[in-house]
Amino acid sequence: MLLTATTDKYLNLLHSQVATGDERLKQLMITLDDDLYRYLSFLEKRKLIRSKDQAIVSSLEFYKMLAMHDWLPYIYRLGGGRVILVDASALKDIFQAMTDEEMYNAAKMAAFKRKLTNPMLQNVDLSNPDNWPLILREMELMGWGKFTKVRGEIKAELCALPLPYVLGYLETMFATTFRHHRTKIVDVNVLVAEGKKKLELH
């Protein structure tokens, strides 16, 4: 999408199509109120964004990625369930009061409930590693960290949640046992799949 900012507080997207090879870019015109326009101008002046149009396109990409069309005032939803924004330090305080086993079991319960409530997971065989990226992507969208599947391994980077919780969640979701392989890189953990896991909800 090609956006051109104008001085009359319009983001002018002329009603035409621009072809680049096989790609066709649609253009649109939108109106901003004074507050939003001043905000974009401030970001642009401080060089926090490349341009006003770039910021709006990025915003729309996040809107699509987070399914914000399903959001309501004070109620945010993702994958069929409600999500909340919580400061990571507040979560850390909660987890510090739990043992590793308690964190693991709490994650098991969360994963079981997620499987039941997320319509995208119905009839999906999550024990098949080919389907793991579906869950890993959802975890990334919820801000848990970065998760990359490499053959039978999962590389977990910048985790916002303790490893016992992440292990409990993944092992329950994928019905697979993982072995934690420690790395010398800070905030990087490798989880190696070792076999199928019989799941029991206590």
pTM of the predicted structure, to 2 decimals: 0.77
Q: Domain containing 118: what range?
A: 98-196
Let me know if residue 136 belongs to a domain. yes
Q: Rounded to the nearest 5 degrees, what angle is found at the Cα of 196, between the Cα atoms of 188 and 123?
A: 95
Question: If you average pLDDT over residues 187-193, what whole number do you get?
Answer: 95
Q: Measure the CA–CA gap between 104 and 95, rounded to whole angstroms.
A: 11
**Higher-confidence position of 199 and 107:** 107
Statement to judge: residues 107 and 50 lie in one domain: no
Statement to judge: residues 32 and 112 lie in one domain: no
Amino acid sitting at position 117: T
Statement to judge: residues 48 and 102 lie in one domain: no
What residues does 190 pair with on adjacent strands? 155, 181
Q: Measure the CA–CA gap between 126 and 47, rounded to whole angstroms.
A: 43
Structural contact between residues 190 and 154, judged by C-beta atoms closer than 8 angstroms: yes
Q: Taking Cα atoms as reference points, which of 192, 129, 124, 119 lies closest to residue 155?
A: 192
Question: What's the pLDDT at 30?
Answer: 85
Statement to judge: residues 45 and 133 lie in one domain: no
Structural contact between residues 115 and 199, judged by C-beta atoms closer than 8 angstroms: no
Let me know if residue 90 belongs to a domain. no
Question: What's the pLDDT at 27?
Answer: 81
Total of domains in the chain? 2
Question: What's the pLDDT at 43?
Answer: 95
What residues does 195 pair with on adjacent strands? 177
Give residue-wise pLDDT tens across range 65-122.
888 999 999 999 887 788 888 898 999 999 999 999 999 999 999 999 988 888 788 8
Let me know if residue 73 belongs to a domain. no
Q: Which residue has the tokens 């004070």?
A: 74
Q: How far is CA 140 from CA 7, 150, 153, in A?
A: 38, 16, 17
Statement to judge: residues 30 and 108 lie in one domain: no
Q: How far is CA 43 from CA 29, 36, 105, 132, in A?
A: 21, 11, 44, 38
Statement to judge: residues 109 and 192 lie in one domain: yes
